[in-house]
Amino acid sequence: MISTTVPGLQHRTVLLDEAVDALAIEGARASGTYIDGTFGRGGHSRLILSRLGDKGRLVAFDKDPQAIATAEQVGDPRFAIVHDSFATMQGALAARGIDRVDGVLLDLGISSPQVDDAARGFSFRQDGPLDMRMDTTRGVSAAEWLATVPEQQLEKVIRDYGEERFAFQIAKAIVARRAIEPISGTRQLAGIVADAVKTREKGKDPATRTFQAVRIFVNQELEDLETGLNAAYAMLAGGARMAVISFHSLEDRIVKQFLASKAKVAQPDRRLPIKAADLPQPQMKLIAKIKPSAQEVADNPRARSAVLRVAERIGGAA
């Protein structure tokens, strides 16, 4: 496992070897083009580069300006970084004259430096401004959104994106508080949620699900994921692989269903006179579902919920 350090903060890349191994960068494919959908602090990207040949290329994406600053220090002519969501990969690669790739890695988790930096507003464990944007240069912060969102929409977001059964009570409490004072700090929001949630499973902070929901909404994470999966699929060359690491059930469900839809085909009526060669064929082959080892979870507890799913393109992009 590679650990990279940024000022006072440490980031451990989850499923580092497993994810890069899954791309099967070997033989002629070492000269291919690959996508790292979330550069983070560069663990996956650096390992991919170590396995590429001289003619290989890697294009990475990230919304986070701090990640971009780290990526700009890589100094490898085979590497390019794009300050945007991986959902934009088709357009970004087309601008570079690339329409086929030999592998795509999507790491959907937020990084430890993002969580641990109080100024980013992702964590309720320390006080900071209620921002939550992965890209601090654009978009609406969590505080700005919470100041105006209608109560019914807020309830829906907390329920659907946080899988929170107390969404009604939490939304009502937030709207009531903002009528008295602006909700601008992480501990402030966490306190409102804690007062509204009377019971919670042991060992879990009452604010966990609400913070997840707001973060997902503010960053359009699920929309980006669906767009990115379709874009990656469209760009994969025959035999190329897609590896996706998710960290919560909403993400994993989308990934699982997407890959399954490409690996299965609707079977026609057996009574119809259709030749075997004319039968619909699957477009992808499911390769693996991998979870972190007990040792990795012991070394990095944040890895415990990670799931890596791998599939391979059959044939090639149309």
Domains of the chain: 3-112+221-265+274-313 (3.40.50.150), 136-218 (1.10.150.170)
Give the pLDDT score at 224.
97
Q: Compute the Cα dihedral for 68, 229, 305, 120 and give only its sign.
A: positive
* Listed residue (305, 106, 128, 113) closest to 211, CA to CA: 128
Distance CA 58, CA 270 (A): 46
Distance CA 18, CA 66 (A): 25
Distance CA 288, CA 280 (A): 23
Distance CA 272, CA 52 (A): 48
Give the pLDDT score at 2.
32
Distance CA 242, CA 23 (A): 7
Which residues fall in the annotated binding site for S-adenosyl-L-methionine? 42-44, 62, 86, 107, 114
Furthest C-alpha separation in the chain:
71
β-pairing, 307-313 with 284-290?
Answer: antiparallel
Which residues fall in the annotated binding site? 42-44, 62, 86, 107, 114
Q: Beta partners for 79?
A: 58
pLDDT tens string 193-239: 999 997 777 768 899 999 999 999 999 999 999 999 999 999 999 99
pLDDT tens string 122-131: 998 889 999 9
For the chain, list residues with pLDDT below 50: 1-9, 318
Check: CB of residue 159 under 8 Å from CB of residue 167: yes
Give the pLDDT score at 8.
37
Q: Torsion angle, CA of 188/62/11/49, rounded to 10 degrees?
A: 180
Q: Beta partners for 242?
A: 104, 311
Distance CA 81, CA 78 (A): 10
* Listed residue (259, 308, 310) closest to 283, CA to CA: 259
